[in-house]
Each structure stands twice: as structure tokens, then as C-alpha cells.
Amino acid sequence: MRKESKASRFMNDMEDPDICIAAMADCLFVLLTFFMSICSLDVMRATLEVALPDALSAREIKEGRQGWAYIHMVWQPVERVAVTTFEGKQYTEPEQLAPILSRRMNDTNLKSAYIRAQKDCPYIFISRLTKVIAEAGIPNLVFGTYESGGAGAKAAAAAKKP
């Protein structure tokens, strides 16, 4: 019969080691929080100036469709304001349209809104207008941009006239 060594007896008496997961979960949450805070800062920096893409293949939507709200935005760089035109009336703040769009939504059951903005218009004004449209309950939204001196400018100028 073979004699057991002290080392083999000691190894047989030991239990299998357990892995403590609590410390790993704490490290995971710290890393997750760190990366989430860094990513949100990068997103905030990126949204300050958004370059809108050119819609080369987009078709122009003609006014006069039932259930559509046509909203034109013209950027005025000297005054640093985006003038919003809806149904022949001009508004300097997009929030001024909230009660009007809500009323139109209830009266005529608007299904879609079409924002036609000047290409130079800062994104913050378009973002505020989309929030107003969403709060009015209009489910569909279409965007279009135009150059400040092109055919789109003529359409926006025609929309200003009562």
C-alpha cells in the first residue's frame, strides 16, 4: 500500500474555489456608468451643429393635400431667428404654433406635417418645431430643405403671401 504524502492529503481536503461575482458586478457597473457619461457628452457635442444631408432624390410635396400641415422655415441670419410660416401667418417662435396645430389636429384630423426649411437654418429651431408637432399628436412628419436662393426660396416666399 502506497503512503499518501502530506501535500496530496492537503489537496484532497481542500474544497473547490468559489468565484466572488459581487466584486465583478461592482466593477462592471462603474465601467458602465463611466462609458455612458462619456458617450452622452460626445452626443451632446455632436448635436450642437448638425449638417443636414442633401436630399438629391427626394420628390417635392405639393401643397393642397388633405390632412397635411405645410410649415415653412426661413433662417434670417442678421436677426438670428427662424421665421416659421403656417397658413400664411408668420411666427418667430415654433412654440407659438402649438395651440394652432392642436386645434387643427382636433378639427381636421391632420395626419401628416411637412417641414420645409432653409438649408442654413440651425437644427435647434427644427428640433423645437418637431417637438411642437409631436405634442400636437400629428403622427407623420416629412422634412425637406432648400437653398436660400433657389426654387425653394420662391416657394417659401409664396407661402408668406396671404
What pLDDT, in 10s, does the model give residues 66-77? 778 888 888 888
Domain that holds residue 129: 68-160
Does residue 79 lie in a domain region? yes
Q: Are residues 38 and 72 in the same domain?
A: no
Examine residue 62 and state whether it is found in any structural domain, yes or no: no
Query: Is pTM beyond 0.75 here?
Result: no
One domain, residues 31 and 77: no
> What would the pLDDT profile of 93-149 be if each residue is shown by its tens digit?
888 888 888 888 888 777 888 888 888 888 888 888 989 888 888 888 888 887 776
Residues 75, 43, single domain; the answer is no
Helix (H, G, I), strand (E, B) or coil at 145: strand
- Per the structure, how many domains does the chain have? 2
76 and 154 share a domain? Answer: yes
